[in-house]
Amino acid sequence: MAEMTYRDALNLALKEEMRRDPSVFVLGEDVALYEGSFKVTRGLLAEFGEERVKDTPISENTIIGVSVGAAMGGLRPVAELMTVNFALLAMDQIVNHMGKIRSMFGGQTFLPMTIRMPGGGGSQLAAQHSQSLETYFMHCPGMHVLYPATPADAKGLLKSAIRDNNPVIFLEHELLYNSKGEVPDDPEFLVPIGRAEVKRPGDQVTIIAYARMTILALQAADELAGEGISCEVVDLRSLAPLDMETFLSSVRATGRVVVVEECWRTCGLGGEIASRIYDACFDVLQAPVKRVSGLDVPMPYSRKIEKICIPQVEDIKGAVRDVVSGRY
């Protein structure tokens, strides 16, 4: 095990998979000479050359369209979009091509491709560059959607995504790139797609979160432990497919649940999870499902106001106190 940043864990995953499989190549805007907007592709051009690390024009629909064709032709492209916000320019290729071709061809072709995209708010980048669009992709069948919270999961999930024969949306929160954690050195270390993980055991309330919200949930749980409140934190990691059994098992044990999501509340992932919990666990719930979500507003530029729009540790702690005390 070695301690490294989230960014370096992603970089290591790319290098290991490119060394293992010559059909893997990377493409995107500034991924080669500039080594990526967030330096995740650092060193790839020097090691693998221009044939496998390709700078592209500023055209997201072209990047994804080329990736779809390459995947159908037997390669394993890993496309980087500078930010998830720019994926809106490629939604036809993502939804109508990448997500549907395997089904429309009756399974006669595979699309082993991965789209890496940083996203999320908190960097004071204003309304058009601070969005959490994961539910856009979750709503479309035919693709996996992954969103790791820790460096170890970032490495293991990216490797699994590259090896998978299905198209994968791989999201990375911008504020996690510098976070550090222990990462296995084993080049065969994989985190299975579709498997959530209990990051912290507890017996009074379940906190379900993903991406950066998992980190905030763990901090909230640590602080609430000092108040005598025991929280179990479940990190979804994989949003599609969604591992229902792990979080339902936790809810059955605690009887109380708080769902934390950075995305907008309306049609957010938290509503879907709450619905599934009510369907499966209604008889054991000791309190209504509590949601902590981003506000339904375009993200403001002001740092102070931006902070109000995104769930914070105190918001999570307040929601947990409410469900434990009966203040609904």
Find where tokens 């890993």 sit. Answer: 78
Return the amino acid letter for 135: T
- Is residue 25 within 8 A of residue 14, CB to CB? The reply is no
> Which residues 6+ apart lie within 8 Å of 188 measured at CB?
none
Residue 129 CB contacts under 8 Å (≥ 6 apart), including other chains = 83, 85, 123
* CA 328 from centre of chain: 29
Is the omega angle on the peptide bond into residue 241 within 30 degrees of 0, that is, cis? yes
Residue-by-residue DSSP string for 296-313: SSPPPS-HHHHHHHS--H
In angstroms, what CA-CA distances link 112 with 67, 140, 266, 291?
9, 17, 32, 35
| HEC secondary structure over 114-174 | EEEEEECCCCCCCHHHCCCCHHHHHCCCCCEEECCCCHHHHHHHHHHHHHCCCCEEEEEEH
Q: Tell me whether residue 129 is one of the annotated catalytic residues.
A: yes
> Which entry of 16, 17, 35, 60 is annotated as an active-site residue?
60
Measured between alpha carbons, how far is 55 from 321 in angstroms, rounded to an integer? Answer: 50
CA 10/CA 42 separation, integer angstroms:
10
Task: Give the residue from 292, 296, 306 showing the smallest Cα distance to 261.
Answer: 292
Question: Within 10 Å of residue 266's Cβ, how many Cβ atoms?
Answer: 10
Q: Which is catalytic among the residues 16, 29, 80, 129?
A: 129
Three-state DSSP at 188 gives coil
- Return the active site residues: 60, 129
